[in-house]
Structure 1
Amino acid sequence: MRLVKWTSTTAALALLAPATALLRFQCGQLVIDRLDPLVTPGANPSPHLHQILGGNSFNVTMDPAKDMAGESTCTSCQFSEDFSNYWTATLYFKAKNGTYKRLTQKPNAGFDGVNGGMTVYYMQDGLYNFNQTSKVTAFKPGFRMFIGDVNARTQQEAERFRQLTFTCLHNFIDRDPQTLDFPTVPCENGIMTAVRFPTCWDGRNLDSPDHMSHMSYPDHGTFESNGPCPCTHPIRVPQLFYEVIWDTAPFNNKQDWPADGTQPFVWSFGDATGYANHGDYLFGWQSDALQRAMDSPCYINCPTLKTQSVAEMNKCTIARRVNEDIDGWVNALPGNHQANYIRKRREWLSE
C-alpha cells in the first residue's frame, strides 16, 4: 500500500482556515446516471455509473461550443454563478454472495444538509498555503478535462497521476494517511476520495482527444510546492480538487466482508483495487465569475460571488435517463462486464 503524506495539522487548518484562503464549496447531487458526455459523448447509456453535480444542462452530449451557463436554469453548487459539471464514478460494496450495493455520499464538514455530492476546491496556491497570493488564469468557456485511468489496476499505473488518493476517515479532521488504493480496514466516518487535476494549461486547446494532453503537471514538484509549469504548458490555472465522502457505515461490519480478508469496495466499472480513481470536469462558470473569485480573498464565503441556500442547491436535480436499479442490491454492476468496457473504450479512443 502506497502512503501519501498529509499531516493532521494541515488537514485541521484546511477546515478552519480564515476567510482569506481559497475557494471551497459543496455541490449537491444533480443526478446519478450512466451518462458521460466527456469520454463517451452520445452514448446512452455510457459504460458505467456516475454521480454528477452542477448545472442542470448536463446531457448525453454537450457541445463545447454552447454556453453551459446560459443553458442551465439552476445549479446544485453553493455558488449560483457556477454551472460547471463535476463528476466521478460511483462506489459499490460487494457482499460475500457476490451481490452489489451502491454507497451514498455524505457532505463534508461545514456543509450540513447538502444532499450528498462532494466538496470542490479552486486554489491559487494549493491547500498548504493560506496566503493564496499567486496569479492564476481561470478556465475558459468550452474548457473540459479528465484525470486518471479507468484501466489502471497497479500502483505503477496509478503513479502516473499525482494526488489521486483515498483516506480512511476516523473523523472529519484527519486526512492522514492517504493511499493510492482502497483502505483495507473499516472506516468509521467513511472513505474519502481525493481527485486533484493538473494545473498547467497549453494556453491554446480547450480539450484534447484524451481530455488530458492539453494539461500538464508542474515541471517538477507539485502545485502545492509552487513547481513551475513546463514550457509546453506555460499557463498556470487554478488547482481543481474534489473531495467525495462515501458513507461506508452500513458496511463496516467485517463479518460481512470477503472471507479471504480482502476489502469489499469496488468502483462502478469493476475496479476493486482503487487504482483507477478518476474525475471529469466541464467548465461552466458565468462570465468572469471564476476569475473574480481567483483574484479575491475567498474561502467558504466569497463576497464577489452569489451564494444560494442549501435548499436551493438540493432542489436543483434532473431526471435520470437510464432506467436501471441504482438503489437496491444487484447481481451485477450497471453496465456489466469490466472487460467489455475496456474493449469498447479502446474502440472509442481509436476512432
Structure 2
Amino acid sequence: MAPTALVGGLVAAFVAVAQAQSGGSAMLRFGCSNIVIDRIDPLVDPGKIPSPHVHQIIGGDAFNATMPVGDISQIATCTSCTFEEDFSNYWTANVYFKARNGTYKRVPIMVNDAIGAANGGMTVYYSAPGKNTVTAFKPGFRMFSGDAKRRAPTNLGKATQSCFRCYDGPNFKGNVNSPCFDPVRDTEGFPTKPCLGGWRSSVLFPICWDGKNLDSPNHADHVAHPVGGPASFTSMGGKCPSTHPVKIPQIHLEIVWDTTKFNNKADWPADGSQPFVLSHGDTTGYGQHGDYVFGWKGDSLQKAMDNACFATNCKQLKSQTFPQANKCLVKTAVKENNDGWLDHLPGMEGM
C-alpha cells in the first residue's frame, strides 16, 4: 500500500522519511479537534481556576482543572481525536496578536494539511523506529516539553524541540521539508515577517523515561533526551542515558495558526518588530511548550507502535469521523472573552 495513498496531501518529506526507515518503523499522524479553549492547567496548576494563562486543549473529555492520577481512558466518555482509543489530553499556550494600539486578539487555529474536517485543534504524531523498540506510556503518565520561561534560542538546529514554519502562501505553500528542518521557513522563535499562508507551531517531547516515575515535580525530570542530545523529528536513534534507560514513543504536536488575518504591517508595532505573543506573555516564541496526559485505552498504543502503523493507516486501531470527533467537548470553566479584542491578555493584566 503506497504511503501517498494513505496520507493524501501530506508533504513529500514525510513520505520520504517513512520509506527510508526500516525495521517496521511506526509514525502515527492524526488530527484532534479542540475540546475547549480555557484558562485551566491540570498539570502545572492543578485545581486552580483560573490558571495563569489560556490554553487550547484536545483529546478526551476527562480534561478538568484537577485530573486524577490513574487510567484516564476509564473516565473519559469521548475523544476529539481520530483514533477512538486515544483519550489522552494535549494542550499548548495560545497565540495572540498585539496591535499597534495595544489591544490583543487571539489568533484562530486552522486545520493542518491532510487532516480533514477537524474543528481547529492539533496534529499529533507518535513515532517508533521499529517493533519492540519503544515502551508505550503507562496509565497516569504525564509530561511537559519546553520551558515557558525561555526567551533565547537553544541553537539546536534540526534537533530543536520547538519551531515555527512560515508558509509561502495559502494551502501550506512551501511545506516541503520535515518539521524544523527547513533553513529558510523554520525558526525557533516567532517569524519576523508577515507569512502569506499563516504559520505552524511544532512541539516535540523527550523520548527517554526513567522507567519508574509516571510524573515528577516539574513534570520533566522523569523523562530525558538521548545522551547525544534531543532527537529530531522521527529520529529515534541515540542511546538513552542510564538514568532514563527506557525508550518511549516520540510525541510531536503541530498547531497551524491563521496569522494571515493580521498581515497588515500598518497594524504592527511602529518599530517593525513582530506583533505576536504567546498567552503566557512570551513575545519571542522561544517559550513555546506543550503538556501531555496519557490516556490510550489498554495496550492500543503499544500495538500501534509494534505494527508499523503509518499516518491514520492502522489495523490495530479504530477510527472515527470528524463529525463525530467534533462533538466531543468540555464545558468552559473560566467565563471570559476568548475571541474579541482585549485590553490585556487573560491573566496578564499588568502587561
In which range does the TM-score fall when normalised by the shorter chain? 0.7 to 0.9
Change (3 A) 1:185 1:269: same
Change (3 A) 1:225 1:146: closer
User: C-alpha separation between the residues in 2 aligned to 1:182 and 1:174?
Assistant: 19
Of 305, 313, 320 in structure 1, the residue corresponding to residue 317 of structure 2 is 305
Give SS of 1:249's match.
helix
Q: CA RMSD in A?
A: 2.1
What TM-score do the two structures reach when normalised by structure 2?
A: 0.87
Of 242, 251, 261 in structure 1, the residue corresponding to residue 253 of structure 2 is 242
> How far off is 1:12 after superposition?
2.1
Of 277, 281, 295 in structure 2, the residue corresponding to residue 270 of structure 1 is 281
Task: Using the TM superposition, name which of 315-324 and 11-20 deviates more.
Answer: 11-20
The answer on whether the counterparts of 1:269 and 1:338 sit within 8 Å (CA) in structure 2 is: no
List runs of 5+ in structure 2 lacking aligned partners.
Answer: 1-9
User: C-alpha separation between the residues in 1 aligned to 2:118 and 2:190?
Assistant: 25
Cα deviation digits, residues 45-81 of structure 1 (max 9, x gap)? 000000000000101101113x211111100000010
> How far off is 1:152 after superposition?
1.2
List runs of 5+ in structure 1 lacking aligned partners.
Answer: 1-9, 126-131, 340-351
Give SS of 1:69's match.
helix
Which residue is 2:50 aligned to?
Answer: 45
Cα deviation digits, residues 18-51 of structure 1 (max 9, x gap)? 7975111001001000000000001000000000
Give SS of 1:155's match.
coil
Cα deviation digits, residues 148-178 of structure 1 (max 9, x gap)? 111111225999x942111112225234232
Cα deviation digits, residues 78-106 of structure 1 (max 9, x gap)? 00100000000000000000000001111
Give SS of 2:343's match.
coil
Aligned residues: 322
Give SS of 1:315's match.
coil
- Alignment of 1:122 with 2:126, yes or no, is yes
Task: Using the TM superposition, name which of 13-22 and 71-80 deviates more.
Answer: 13-22
User: C-alpha separation between the residues in 1 aligned to 2:202 and 2:120?
Assistant: 15
Which residue is 1:284 aligned to?
Answer: 295
> Which runs of structure 2 are paired with 1:60-75 in the superposition (5 Å)?
60-65=65-70, 67-75=71-79
Change (3 A) 1:244 1:111: same
Cα deviation digits, residues 183-215 of structure 1 (max 9, x gap)? 001112211111000000000000000000000
User: C-alpha separation between the residues in 1 aligned to 2:292 and 2:350?
Assistant: 23
Which residue is 1:185 aligned to?
Answer: 193
Q: Structure 1 residue runs of 4+, over 6 Å off? A: none
The answer on whether the counterparts of 1:164 and 1:277 sit within 8 Å (CA) in structure 2 is: yes
Give SS of 1:30's match.
strand
What TM-score do the two structures reach when normalised by structure 1?
A: 0.87
User: C-alpha separation between the residues in 1 aligned to 2:341 and 2:116?
Assistant: 28
